[in-house]
Structure 1
Amino acid sequence: MTFRLIALDVDGTLLDDDHQLTPRVREAVRAAASNGAEIVLCTGRGSTSALPVLEELGLPGTMITHNGASIVDSATRTVLYETEIAHEPAARYVDYLQARNIHFDINTAFDLYVHELDEFTTEMYRKWFARPILRRPEEGLPEKTVKLSMYAPKEVLDQVELDWAEWVDGLHYVRSGVNFIDVQHPQSTKGKALEKLTGLRGIPREQVLAIGNYYNDIGMLVFAGHGVAMENSPAEVKAEADEVTLSNNEDGVAVVLERLVSYKHPKYISI
């Protein structure tokens, strides 16, 4: 099978646990692009946070960001597609988080807003290449908000999910990491955004390869002609994939690309 589009999750998939792009993974991704595949980062990150990863790969391209809420052209910095969230139902989530002092940010396609910053959250955003903008709570949500994202210890977010389980309000939430929950439009998923992009490109799903590692990746793994889960994925994610590769700390993305796009670097020929 020739894969014309390769969708790659970033954190926990393309990058290792130190948030580094290893030489082998970078080389394999660039080789896949040289062989004619369109490389699409498909991430929960915002656009400004994902762009440095694409630049480190040395590739131009289109990015699916905010778990599918935005599709962005990296060269022109233009938004090709986005799904906004309604302000009224979003206010319920904001009130809940503020009442419990849970840190959250508010995202448009390119900007990330916070109500407050401390030393810890400042360092967190620095690590993710994000540039938060302070916004007073009384200003409400900015225009074209596409995502609310909260960060807290696992046990806190476990309780949040229990509290929100019965909420019916026209929005949906997804666990995008052990310490992250994202609130978005119900049509904002990586799978639906990938379907939208391939429709624009005229690429059948059979010619799409997707690689991811967490719950927010399930939609794209199912949509793709061939979905690959990382070894570091939860069992529920692995169950939805066509195959499981090595972990993000073992160059799992490179192992898949070297095999499926018929690329073998002499240094790794025995693997």
Structure 2
Amino acid sequence: MYISNTKLIIREIRIMKKLIAIDLDGTLLSSNLDISAENIQAIQHAQKAGHIVMICSGRAPEDIKVVIGQTPLQCPLAGSNGTMVVADGKLLSQISINKDTVKSIASILDEKKYPFKLYTNQGIFVASSWTDRMNVFLDENPEVSKHLTSKEYKMVTEQPKETDTLKLFDHIDHVLKLEGIAIQKFFIPTISGKTELTSTIEEIDGISVTTSGPFNIEIMDTNGHKGNGIRVMAEYFNIPIENTVAIGDNFNDVPMLKTAGLSIAMENGDPAVKEIADVVTLTNNEHGVAHAIEKYVLANS
């Protein structure tokens, strides 16, 4: 009888185990781009309680690792909007844009002189013309400049320097010829709302267009999104999708919010995103992630 009860308890604990997918910018990160002690502590409490906490961000996996590496946290991740899913040092899933499609998108961007970045399985690639194009873009769209601090303005207009994970290129063909290269995402600064550029790109088959902020668009394969990221991770850890929780603030978070068993939007999130979420937590500057974990995960546990 004792063994039977023990098995029942273990089974109940497994049923209660949850996967919590957390966005970075505007969600886990404050406006100062740091992770508060309160958020760190809540994540650690969730992990100690047996839950899995993953980071699901539009940032590249390498960038996510740098951010999390500045804290004591260790979490599996889904980078580049869920197109690259990594856990226990293993690549669980990779969804890339067809190379012919990549050339078509790049051709449109080059014709319109838009600055852009490529998120790939070999790091981030930035066009060598980034600074010139970015300066023209900001001159033509002064409303964007108004929302940038002097530090941010300098960061976005400075010519990027090559590192192990950031590389410059002159033409898209130079990237596509690299052995084993796979491109997961285009990141393009743009103005808010549906632009002529967005409309043109959306006519291309096999891709989806989203945004992680008011002044950018992001392009992935139609199957590449954060909903895929949370599904792959849930399957890996054998967690039913109804036992998943997603926390986010912007449109690129919508697929995972719609996929998760419980969707939580940040108070500072876009109104349309808050509208589709099950519940709304505090802002990213009020430790909204900690509040959500404590109220909707740990309290229920």
Residue 123 to residue 254, structure 1, CA distance change in 2 (3 Å):
farther
Match of 1:6 in 2: 20
SS at match of 1:148: strand
Which structure shows the bigger proportion of residues in helix conformation? Answer: 2
The answer to whether the aligner puts 1:190 opposite 2:226 as a matched pair is yes
C-alpha distance after superposition, 1:173-221 (max 9, x if no partner): 1112222211111100111221122122221112111100011111111
Q: Using the TM superposition, give the Cα deviation of residue 230 of structure 1 relative to its aligned residue in structure 2, in angstroms.
A: 0.4
Q: Using the TM superposition, give the Cα deviation of residue 54 of structure 1 relative to its aligned residue in structure 2, in angstroms.
A: 2.3
* Distance in structure 1 (CA, Å) of the matches to 2:238 and 2:17: 13
Match of 1:213 in 2: 249
Amino acid at match of 2:86: V
- What TM-score, normalized to structure 1? 0.86
* Distance in structure 1 (CA, Å) of the matches to 2:210 and 2:61: 19
Q: After alignment, is 50-59 or 5-14 more displaced?
A: 50-59
The answer to whether the aligner puts 1:27 opposite 2:41 as a matched pair is yes
The answer to whether the aligner puts 1:112 opposite 2:124 as a matched pair is yes
Match of 1:71 in 2: 85
- What TM-score, normalized to structure 2? 0.78
Percent identity among equivalent residues? 27
Residue 136 to residue 125, structure 1, CA distance change in 2 (3 Å):
closer
Match of 1:269 in 2: none
SS at match of 2:268: coil
Match of 2:166 in 1: 132
Q: Using the TM superposition, give the Cα deviation of residue 87 of structure 1 relative to its aligned residue in structure 2, in angstroms.
A: 1.4
Q: Using the TM superposition, give the Cα deviation of residue 222 of structure 1 relative to its aligned residue in structure 2, in angstroms.
A: 1.4
Gaps of 5+ in 2: 1-14, 132-153
Match of 1:150 in 2: 188
Match of 1:266 in 2: none
Q: Using the TM superposition, give the Cα deviation of residue 2 of structure 1 relative to its aligned residue in structure 2, in angstroms.
A: 3.4
Mapping for residues 1-271 of structure 1, pairs under 5 Å: 2-73=16-87, 76=89, 78-116=90-128, 117-118=130-131, 120-121=155-156, 131-137=165-171, 138-141=173-176, 142=178, 143-154=181-192, 158-165=195-202, 167-262=203-298
The RMSD of aligned alpha carbons is 2.5
* Distance in structure 2 (CA, Å) of the matches to 1:120 and 1:53: 17
Structure (1 or 2) with the larger CA radius of gyration? 2
C-alpha distance after superposition, 1:130-164 (max 9, x if no partner): 94211220414352111111123437x74422443
Amino acid at match of 2:167: I
Q: Using the TM superposition, give the Cα deviation of residue 233 of structure 1 relative to its aligned residue in structure 2, in angstroms.
A: 1.4
**How many pairs were matched up?**
257
* Distance in structure 2 (CA, Å) of the matches to 1:88 and 1:225: 36
Asked whether the 8 Å contact 2:85–2:232 carries over to 1, the reply is no
